[in-house]
């Protein structure tokens, strides 16, 4: 019997038991990066959170029975502008930015295609790019026009929002509020201020493709249509879970729902919608003008990816998170304690029930982390297994220390020689010499511990 998983569904505003359409084919989609610039630390939150959900689903339903698609937006106004600004091609910009994004998230312990997919078996992690799905976008757009839910106007194709009676069911926004926001900039060819673009003509220098619906001029897709096309291609007309940041609920996810449901005539696009909360830095909204805009790579230059991952998961995913230096320091100390407790123990064959139960309650990571703290004092094997399920403690204590030493640029031979010198000074009761050596080690970034058995061990301070 599969352990229970309960998830908070934005669509219903309730936390209910998760029941996949087909337990042998659990399907999940998440909105990924727009690859025009280095991803910031706020972008890392959904990547880490929904990586954890993917790990949990694989644990509950079996690795061969869960498929995760996380898209890449590689056609966008920001991409066009940045490529022009840098004097490079759009493909060069998007390929380079995506490669950097992959390096960043791999360091955060996020499962990648090479970790999940097996030769000769269906891919279980898929990272579709928008520009590889133009044909699917055409089919969706033409299907919407044929069904009376979209129309052609001045080289554009627009979704006819009033044609969908329950538009707004996901965001629960009142119609007059949505109309007020839409009227800020209304194109004259729109039938309703709420109507949104499915396809538009390309300007000179912008990427372009042959347009659908018999439009003469080449064009490019609107933002929302790409996710409807990619989720349909890889997961089907309806699937189990759609995830993303809370800022995507409206208009992006609302418009995805409208496109997919109206094209395919389905009651839902996805049965469960998950959204993570916002991230602030030291109590303030992150912005370049405030000087607190931090990229993932900038954080990783100062902190191991495992520390960053733990710091992100200490707060429940639906709650806002305050990203602070103090929080990172605390997360680093937590991991030190866990590595010390786990030692060189092998992980148990099964993740401990307490950790699985906590994660099964709408990814209650604070409770799961509390359970890991308890296990740190009682069961090293269970600690390793529970932490492993969450993407922690991938290495042994010795391996982690070796990585930290390398990252800190510490001369191991010099450290060992100083420790031997200090041991000789202590044996001779030359406490002044012993203290001088300890001070030298501290200056090198090394913390020394004298053990009860007479041995001395050392770690990288911090």
The reply, when asked if residue 31 is annotated as ligand binding, is yes
C-alpha torsion angle, residues 37, 42, 43, 45 (rounded to 10): 160
User: What is the rounded CA–CA span in Å between residue 86 and residue 266?
Assistant: 44
User: What is the rounded CA–CA span in Å between residue 306 and residue 302?
Assistant: 12
Residue 144 token pair: 């919407």
The reply, when asked if residue 252 is annotated as ligand binding, is yes
Of 350, 345, 385, nearest to 372 (Cα)?
A: 385
Strands (E), 253-296: 270-276, 279-281, 284-285
Of 72, 109, 447, nearest to 311 (Cα)?
A: 109
The reply, when asked if residue 227 is annotated as ligand binding, is yes
DSSP state of 72: B
Give the DSSP H or E segment for 67. strand 66-70
The reply, when asked if residue 190 is annotated as ligand binding, is no
DSSP state of 349: S
Give the DSSP H or E segment for 66. strand 66-70
User: What is the rounded CA–CA span in Å between residue 201 and residue 179?
Assistant: 25
User: What ranges in 314-460 are assigned the alpha helix state H?
Assistant: 325-342, 353-360, 365-376, 380-389, 397-408, 412-427, 431-443
The reply, when asked if residue 288 is annotated as ligand binding, is yes
Bind-site residues: 31, 227, 252, 256, 288
Bind-site residues for Zn(2+): 31, 227, 252, 256
Bind-site residues for ATP: 288
């Amino acid at each position: 019997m599969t352990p229970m998983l309960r998830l908070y569904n934005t669509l219903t505003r309730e936390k209910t038991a998760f029941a996949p359409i087909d337990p042998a084919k659990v399907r999940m989609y998440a909105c990924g990066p727009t690859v025009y610039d280095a991803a910031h630390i706020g972008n890392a939150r959904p990547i880490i959170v929904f990586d954890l959900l993917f790990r949990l689903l694989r644990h509950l339903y079996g690795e061969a029975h869960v498929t995760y698609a996380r898209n890449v937006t590689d056609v966008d106004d920001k991409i066009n502008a940045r490529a022009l600004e840098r004097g490079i091609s759009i493909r060069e910009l998007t390929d380079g930015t995506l490669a950097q994004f992959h390096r960043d998230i791999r360091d955060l312990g996020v499962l990648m295609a090479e970790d999940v997919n097996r030769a000769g078996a269906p891919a279980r992690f898929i990272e579709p790019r928008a520009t590889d799905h133009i044909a699917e976008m055409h089919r969706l757009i033409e299907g919407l026009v044929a069904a009376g839910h979209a129309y052609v106007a001045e080289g554009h194709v627009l979704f006819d929002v009033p044609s969908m009676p329950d538009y707004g069911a996901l965001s629960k926004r009142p119609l007059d509020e949505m109309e007020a926001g839409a009227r800020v900039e209304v194109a004259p060819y729109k039938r309703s201020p709420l109507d949104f673009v499915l396809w538009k003509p390309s300007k000179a220098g912008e990427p372009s493709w042959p347009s659908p619906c018999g439009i003469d001029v080449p064009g490019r897709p609107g933002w929302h249509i790409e996710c409807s096309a990619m989720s349909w291609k890889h997961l089907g007309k309806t699937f189990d879970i759609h995830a993303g940041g809370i800022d995507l609920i409206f208009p992006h996810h609302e418009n995805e729902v409208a496109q997919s449901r109206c094209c395919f005539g389905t009651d839902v696009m996805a049965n469960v919608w998950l959204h993570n909360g916002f991230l602030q830095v030291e109590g303030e909204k992150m912005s370049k003008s405030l000087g607190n805009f931090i990229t993932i790579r900038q954080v990783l230059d100062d902190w191991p990816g495992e520390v960053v991952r733990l710091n992100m998961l200490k707060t429940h995913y639906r709650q806002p998170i305050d990203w602070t230096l103090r929080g990172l320091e605390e997360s680093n100390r937590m991991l030190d304690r866990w590595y010390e407790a786990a030692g060189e123990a092998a992980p148990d064959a099964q993740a401990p029930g307490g950790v699985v139960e906590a994660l099964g309650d709408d990814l209650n990571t604070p409770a799961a982390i509390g359970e890991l703290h308890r296990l740190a004092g009682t069961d090293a094997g269970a600690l390793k297994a529970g932490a492993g399920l969450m993407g922690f403690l991938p290495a042994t204590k010795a391996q982690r220390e070796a990585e930290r030493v390398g990252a800190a640029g510490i001369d191991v031979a010099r450290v060992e020689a100083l420790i031997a010198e200090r041991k000789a000074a202590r044996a001779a009761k030359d406490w002044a010499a012993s203290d001088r050596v300890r001070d030298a080690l501290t200056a090198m970034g090394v913390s020394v511990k004298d053990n009860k058995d007479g041995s001395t061990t050392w770690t990288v301070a911090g």
